[in-house]
Amino acid sequence: MLLTPERTCPQARTRRFLMVPPTEFTVNYEINPWMDKRKPVDTERAMAQWEALVAAYREHGHDVRLLEGMPGLPDMVFSANGGLSVDGIFYTALFTHPQRVAEAVWHAAWHQTHGSRVVQATQINEGEGDFAVVGERILAGHGFRTSLAAHAELADVTGREVVSLRLVNPSFYHLDTALTVLDETTVAYYPGAFDADSQETLARLYPTAIRVAEADAHHFALNSLSDGLHVFCAADAAGFIDQLAERGYAPVPLDLSEFRLAGGGIKCCTQELR
């Protein structure tokens, strides 16, 4: 295990998640480079992969809550995009593409019913797809799906520092495909997804970050979720799995390859409740 003066031994913390079963999941439109309507989704396989993810979370002590998928919303399974939950506040998504706009309504209703203070976004954003909570700071992506104006609105809503990062590679259209939070002081990211200024910002803020190779990034290595010790990650991101183990984390490899047909993975399927 490699520890630095800035880091202590990784420790797990129990988390709460909101997830949507893939009962409606398919690819019947194309809104990112991963989607191809000519490649059919194996619905049975997708359900089995999603259920394995839920089981892994629960086996590691995490609380999984469910929101029913709605007809006509095949991407609703990607619950991370529905908004951002932090400090008991739920800041809603305001989707870029019309195919997904209605998802935000169902997420807001669930949070309203379960006691969050729901704040309706007035600026385009896709929730945890582009917002990553790292300790007291929020990293925020822009360039494809979320506007810079949403970063300012989020800072006003939460009172937290929001750091903007520009995404420049269409294959990494959301922040959660290019960066993952490992604990309150550590992230992993693929430098090639960001512009030069954002790479400099990440290097300054997170000098001990794990920098992930392009091949692993394309295997959705960074669409992972960490509880501070266990990192639920793509099973075929072998290099990233080795990097995690070297740093003292405990990788939990999972196959969510069916969801990659829509440009999604483990983190996309998981909204954290804070």
Q: How far is CA 183 from CA 10, 48, 155, 166, 254, in A?
A: 8, 28, 21, 22, 20
pLDDT of residue 7: 52
Q: What number of other Cβ atoms are within 10 A of residue 203's Cβ?
A: 13
pLDDT of residue 4: 47
pLDDT of residue 9: 87
Q: How far is CA 152 from CA 135, 139, 264, in A?
A: 19, 12, 26
Q: How many angstroms separate the CA atoms of 173 and 167, rounded? A: 7
Environment class of residue 181 by beta-carbon count within 10 Å: exposed (0-12), middle (13-18) or buried (19+)?
A: buried
Q: How many angstroms separate the CA atoms of 187 and 204, rounded? A: 12
Q: What is the pLDDT along the chain (274 residues), one digit of tens a residue?
A: 444 445 568 999 999 999 999 999 999 999 999 999 999 999 999 999 999 999 999 999 999 999 999 999 999 999 999 999 999 999 999 999 999 999 999 999 999 999 999 999 999 999 999 999 999 999 999 999 999 999 999 999 999 999 999 999 999 999 999 999 999 999 999 999 999 999 999 999 999 999 999 999 999 999 999 999 999 999 999 999 999 999 999 999 999 999 999 999 999 999 999 9
Domain 16-272 classification at class level: alpha beta
Q: What number of other Cβ atoms are within 10 A of residue 37's Cβ?
A: 10
Q: How many angstroms separate the CA atoms of 127 and 43, rounded? A: 25
Q: What number of other Cβ atoms are within 10 A of residue 102's Cβ?
A: 13
Under DSSP, the state recorded for 9 is -
Backbone angles phi, psi at 48, to 5 degrees: -65, -40
pLDDT of residue 262: 98
pLDDT of residue 217: 98
Query: 3-class SS at 1?
Result: coil
Provide the whole-model pTM. 0.96
Q: Name the maximum alpha-carbon separation found in the chain.
A: 51
Give catalytic residues, as residue numbers: 174, 268
Domains of the chain, by residue range, sit at 16-272
- Partners of 164 in the β-ladder: 140
